Structure 1
């Protein structure tokens, strides 16, 4: 028996929701395109890491009632820099605008956090990488390299 893919349109409402015992399996099934796997850890690794890092804030990304992605933030309210640790949209749901709208919500969340002055992220500098997507949201390259990944920041 195969699971039927919901028919979503770009008009679907995008929300960030806590992952529960009931929704975990559907989040773990989300996958990027094979050629994107070099850019982000799978969601099982991310959820496991989040459970061992007290400053991890993580959510499922939903379009209407369908899980379409995952986002994780390093959330330290004592520091002015917040860090987008993980972000992915399932291959089936890319190019609907869900990722942009999810990150806009995440940026609004960070702006409301104590002491927040910037949101940083890093990406693998390779063909097909996410740099243009992040730049379209206002992130700029800092010139820093962290563990082989280029660092970008958004001034809040």
Structure 2
């Protein structure tokens, strides 16, 4: 069962040691960078992705400081746990958290255009391109209440 847990002194080193395949490193910031960003930008919520007791990945979401909308800023699954459905399950967990906010009805994310695996996952979850490209990344949006 996939769960999202806080980053603590007990799992900090394990989280920063998670890694994607070399060819994927251009698609996602390192977890060290993401944790530093969360410290500097407290609106970011970094979480460890667990399958039962096994740490399998990392996600980070937050309320964007400028547009006051939710963004999923990071999702990564360690290379040894990819292609097992953990990325999809982690995204569903994040979306479940965000849906609890009655004042918001959508969430955004962005990704590198070459990351076809991410594009496929996001589209299967209901995200659609909103027409923007920010810093070279395609922006997708999911409306979950209409």
Q: What's the TM-score once normalised by structure 1's chain length? A: 0.86
Deviations 1:97-149 (A, max 9, x none): 11111110100100102411111000000154511111111111111111111
Distance in 2 between residues matched to 1:100 and 1:140, nearest whole Å: 16
Question: How many residue pairs get matched?
Answer: 144
CA contact (8 A) 2:27 2:115 kept: no
Match runs of 1:95-106 below 5 Å: 95-106=83-94
Q: Does the 8 Å contact 1:15/1:63 carry over to 2?
A: yes
* Matching residue of 2:78: 90
Task: Say which SS state the counterpart of residue 14 (structure 2) adopts.
Answer: helix
Partner residue, 2:46: 58
Structure 1 runs of 4+ aligned residues shifted over 2 Å read none
RMSD: 1.8
User: Could you tell me whether the CA contact under 8 Å between 1:36 and 1:129 is conserved in 2?
Assistant: no
Match of 2:98 among 105, 110, 132: 110
Alpha-carbon distance in 1 for matches of 2:8, 2:75 = 18
Unaligned runs of 5+ in 1: 1-12
1:29 aligns with 2:17: yes
SS at match of 1:119: strand
**Alpha-carbon contact 1:55-1:76 (below 8 Å) kept:** yes
1:76 deviation in Å?
A: 5.7
Unaligned runs of 5+ in 2: none
| 8 Å contact from structure 2 (residues 106, 142) kept in 1 | yes
Give me the whole-angstrom Cα distance separating, in 2, the residues matched to 1:26 and 1:119: 28
Q: In structure 2, what is the equivalent of residue 121 of structure 1?
A: 109
Aligned to 2:136: 148
1:75 CA displacement: 2.6
Per the alignment, in what secondary structure is the counterpart of residue 26 of structure 2?
helix
> Secondary structure of the residue that 2:41 maps to in structure 1?
coil
